[in-house]
Amino acid sequence: MTAIRILLVDDVEQARRDLGTALNLFDDLEIIGEAGNGLEAIYLAQSLGPDVILMDLEMPVMDGYESTQQIKSLRPCKIIALTVHDYESARAKAKRSGVDAFLVKGTPVTTIVQTILEKE
């Protein structure tokens, strides 16, 4: 089986590093890049062609909502919001932006992996 190619997007470098370390423990997942804001995410989504993007929603330069909309208009890929903002308006805005799944930071890594592996 070909590994699922993942792009990590979060403005906190340590958060990206910790998540990448945890996900690298799974043989069927491959971290192909990291972005610190939504603008970088758009560029890397185009150049690297990830299967899945784990997207923080609140970031400087460009937030995850706008970035998700632009990425979805450019190429197909699964975008999973991974955020601390666990309130209904954030969920609704994420859904309108094109987010495929919504997870709260602190969710067990096994649940994150399960969400990555789920077919749309």
Q: Which amino acid is at 59?
A: M
Strand partners, 4: 29
Q: What is the pLDDT of residues 24-35, one digit of tens each?
A: 999 999 999 999
pLDDT in the model for residue 87: 83
Position 1 confidence tier, pLDDT thresholds 50, 70, 90 = low
pLDDT tens-digit map of 10-28: 999 999 999 999 999 999 9
- Give the chain as a DSSP string: -PPEEEEEE-S-HHHHHHHHHHHTTSTTEEEEEEESSHHHHHHHHHHH--SEEEE-SS-SSS-HHHHHHHHHHHS--EEEEEES--SHHHHHHHHHHT-SEEEETT--HHHHHHHHHS--
Handedness of CA 30, 32, 33, 38 (dihedral sign): negative
- Residues 63-116 have pLDDT tens digits of 999 999 999 999 899 999 998 877 888 899 999 999 999 999 989 999 999 999
Strand partners for 102: 81
Q: What is the pTM (predicted TM-score) of this model?
A: 0.94
One of 3.40.50.2300, 1.40.20.10, 3.40.50.1820, 3.40.50.1980 is the CATH number of 4-117, namely 3.40.50.2300
Residue 120 has pLDDT above 70, yes or no: no
